[in-house]
Amino acid sequence: MTVLILGGASEAAALARACAAAGLADILISLAGRTAAPLALPLPVRVGGFGGAEGLARFIREQHITALVDATHPFAARISAHAVQAVRETGIPALALQRAGWAREAKDLWQEVEGLEAAVAALGPAPRRVFLTIGRQGLPAFAAAPQHHYLVRTIEPVGDALPVPHLTELNARGPFDAEAEAALMVRERVDVLVTKHSGGASTYGKIEAARRLGLPVVMIARPVASDLPATVHVDEALAFVCAHMSARASLPKGTELA
Our measurement of the distance from residue 41's CA atom to the centroid of its chain's CA atoms, rounded to an integer in Å, reads 16
CA angle 248, 250, 253 (to 5 degrees): 65
Compute the least distance from the CB of residue 48 to ligand NAP, in Å.
6
- Residues forming the site for ligand NAP (CB under 6 A): 6-9, 30-32, 34, 49-52, 55-56, 72-73, 75-79, 82, 135, 137, 196
Q: CA 209 to CA 211: how far, in whole Å?
A: 5
Q: How far is the CB of 155 from ligand NAP (least distance, A)?
A: 8
Q: Nearest distance from residue 51's CB to ligand NAP, in Å?
A: 5
Q: Taking a C-beta distance cutoff of 8 angstroms, is the pair 206, 240 a contact?
A: no
CB of 107 to ligand NAP, least distance (A): 26
- Closer by beta carbon to ligand NAP, 191 or else 202: 202
Measured from each CB, the residue nearest to ligand NAP is: 49
Contact between 97 and 231 (Cβ < 8 Å): yes
Q: Is the Cβ of residue 196 or residue 206 nearer to ligand NAP in the bound state?
A: 196
Closer CB to ligand NAP, residue 42 or residue 146? 42
Which residue lies nearer to ligand NAP by CB, 31 or 92? 31
Closest CA to 107 of 221, 220, 207: 207
- Is residue 5 helix, strand or coil? strand
Asked whether 171 and 151 are in contact (CB, 8 A), the reply is no
CA distance to 6, 46, 195, per residue, from 210 (Å):
32, 38, 11
Residue with smaller CB distance to ligand NAP, 182 or 228: 228
- Closer residue to ligand NAP, CB minimum distance, 93 or 138: 138
CB of 75 to ligand NAP, least distance (A): 4
Shortest spacing between CB 258 and ligand NAP, in angstroms:
26
Omega into 216 within 30° of 0, i.e. cis? no
